[in-house]
Chain A
């Protein structure tokens, strides 16, 4: 009511009209255009046309019911010898790393001369509810690493994870370090005692056993409920105003829809993984305490000695930057680097900013540590 009162006071107040006749016309014109834009906006959401994502040329070299291993076609005839395996998170879908040509993380790495593979996790079914982190790390990631090593005739690869995928990459490296030459993490969840985000708060108070025992896998609807609490107005609502303002800009609309598609493309997470994620990592902080168990093995971060590059977004509201940065103090690597960037969780990987500022520095760091 207050907002309406305010708008009435300011836009239709005769005194203001008398004082600023031209400006009032401008507001009327704006309102007229707004109606037209809202019509276009409604049509856009009612009839979304094909939204193309993940278009960089690739080959599927392995496919199971859990994942697809993609190999991107190198740009150069002789790419850098040490291949990169990108491990995506189990939240949303991996095409955010190859959203569109000018903002593709993958494509940029290819243009820097690297040989890139990606694990594209498929949505788990009800039959996968007992698949846990031990399976993801010690079976699925390990199988992919072995396949790449055999296919590329190399001894070691670079492991490169994003978000939850970065956390899994860290787990993998502690157990299979002899196969890894470099570890690159983007916004990993490590020390949750330093996490003061909304997600951290929900995670710490969640009765996860009760939920999972009832639903099997963590359903997308519940995950979306949690995500909608992240910046609900500045991002959740303001983006639609921005879209209205640029509704006639085809390129802007296409880019917007790609991100929108990704945001709402939330697969379920297997029940066992979600339980471990919430109880062991968010509630008991076992990863940072070096007490997390995968199968019969303990994940001890101090056993990591290989070169580590940890990339953190200072405006990340999903994964606390301080919680991510803790990794550098927990590993034993002498070649241990932390890079911080003034951007957000998605801006770190899928923006013009990351193309101009993040990727060149990542490429430079990795180039000097890879076999040519």
Chain B
């Protein structure tokens, strides 16, 4: 039963399984007939689909965020474990000792965090997190697009097409301008 599935740190259910069950649950709504006297309008079906995807992506963001925070916390703990409070050489008796200890502390943290940031796994996690946020933005855009159209406003996709065409035109003008410059300079040389 999907209702009994809870995703928290005590659960042993992998996140992928939770997502799968969630999608199965929503499929029932997507299967509502589109062509019948009692069907939902297409706009409503699309909205339901977008809302479903939005919930899915927010849970992904939550999952990646938790993972990110736990990686950071783990690295902090591991770094601090390397700093034993009982070692006599770190006994702070003067300002100089304090600075020395600070350098040691920051150096230890630096080493642990740089190892984390240089690891492929962490790179993938950051990429997943950024991609999930991007997906979230895209979905919000999909939801808002029909309302923009009803207000006679251009959607982001429409503006994008225009911007792309404009840039292409600018490039063509540039190339034409440069070709004319070459022809003119050749003509000048011939005239000389």
Min distance, Cβ A221 to any Cβ of chain B, angstroms: 10
Interface residue stretch chosen among A184-192, A211-219, A254-262, A346-354: A211-219
- Per the 8 Å Cβ criterion, residues 89-109 of B in contact with A are 90-95, 98, 102-103, 105-107, 109
A6→B92 CA distance, assembly (Å): 9
Stretch at the interface among B12-20, B36-44, B123-131: B123-131
The answer to whether the Cβ of A20 comes within 8 Å of any Cβ in the partner chain is: yes
CA distance A126 to B156 in the complex (A): 11
Q: Chain B nearest CB: distance from A209 CB in Å?
A: 9
Q: How far is the CA of A190 from the CA of B46 in the complex (A)?
A: 46
Q: In the complex, what residues of B have CB within 8 A of residue A6's CB?
A: 83, 85, 90, 92
Measured between beta carbons, the chain A residues less than 8 angstroms from B171 are 134-135, 139, 295
Contacts of A20 in B (CB 8 A): 93
A207 and B102 in contact, given A5-B85, A16-B93 (Cβ under 8 angstroms):
no
Q: Measured between alpha carbons, how far is A3 from B103 in the docked complex, in Å? A: 13
Provide the residues of chain A in CB contact with B31, threshold 8 Å: none
Q: Mark B158-185 against chain A: 1 for CB-CB distance below 8 A, else 0.
A: 0010011011101100100000000000
Contact yes or no, B174 A213, CB < 8 A: no
**Does B53 touch A at the CB level, under 8 Å?**
no
With the chains together, A198 CA to B114 CA distance in Å? 7
Q: Is A302's CB within 8 Å of the partner chain B?
A: no
Task: Give Cα A256–Cα B94 distance, bound, in whole angstroms.
Answer: 27
The verdict on A365 contacting chain B, using a C-beta distance below 8 Å, is no
Closest to A29 in B: B95
Task: List the A side residues contacting B80 at CB < 8 Å.
Answer: 2-3
Q: Which of A6, A30, A229, A241 is the most central at the interface, judged by chain B CB atoms within 10 Å of its CB?
A: A6
Query: Are B120 and A130 in contact (CB-based, < 8 A)?
Result: no
Kindly identify which residue among A5, A127, A134, A201 contacts B118, using a CB–CB cutoff of 8 Å: A201
Is B123 within 8 A of A202, CB to CB?
yes
Asked if B134 lies at the interface with its beta carbon under 8 angstroms from chain A, I say yes
Please tell me if the beta carbons of B131 and A210 are within 8 angstroms of each other in the complex: yes
Within 8 A of A (CB), among B116-157: 117-120, 122-124, 126-128, 130-131, 133-135, 137-138, 141
How many A-B pairs fall under 8 Å by CB?
118
- From A9, A196, A210, A237, contact of B134 by CB (8 A): A210
Contact A233 B164 (CB under 8 A): no
Residues of A within 8 A of B91 (CB): 10, 16
Q: Which residue of chain B is the closest to A295 with respect to CB atoms? A: B171
Q: Select B98's contact among A30, A231, A238, beta carbons within 8 Å.
A: A30
A48 CB to nearest chain B CB (Å): 25
CB of B24 within 8 A of chain A?
no
A267 to chain B, nearest CB (A): 18
Q: Is the C-beta of B113 less than 8 angstroms from some C-beta in chain A?
A: yes
Contact partners of A202 in chain B: CB under 8 A: 117, 123, 126-127
The answer to whether B113 and A233 have CB atoms under 8 Å apart is yes
- Interfacial chain A residues near B113, Cβ < 8 Å: 229, 232-233
Are the C-beta atoms of B110 and A207 separated by less than 8 Å?
no
Return the CB mask of A169-186 against B: 1 if under 8 Å, else 0.
Answer: 000000000000000000
Can you identify 25 A-B contacts, CB atoms within 8 angstroms?
A3-B105, A9-B85, A10-B93, A20-B93, A24-B93, A30-B98, A126-B163, A127-B166, A129-B160, A130-B168, A131-B167, A135-B171, A139-B171, A198-B114, A198-B118, A205-B123, A206-B127, A207-B131, A210-B131, A231-B110, A231-B114, A232-B109, A233-B109, A234-B106, A295-B171
Could you list 6 further interchain pairs (A-B, Cβ under 8 angstroms) beyond the known A129-B163, A205-B123, A229-B117? A3-B105, A6-B90, A130-B167, A198-B117, A210-B134, A295-B171
A interface residues, Cβ below 8 angstroms from B? 2-3, 5-7, 9-11, 16, 20, 23-24, 26-27, 30, 126-127, 129-131, 134-135, 138-139, 196-198, 201-202, 204-207, 210-211, 213-215, 222, 229, 231-234, 237-238, 241, 295
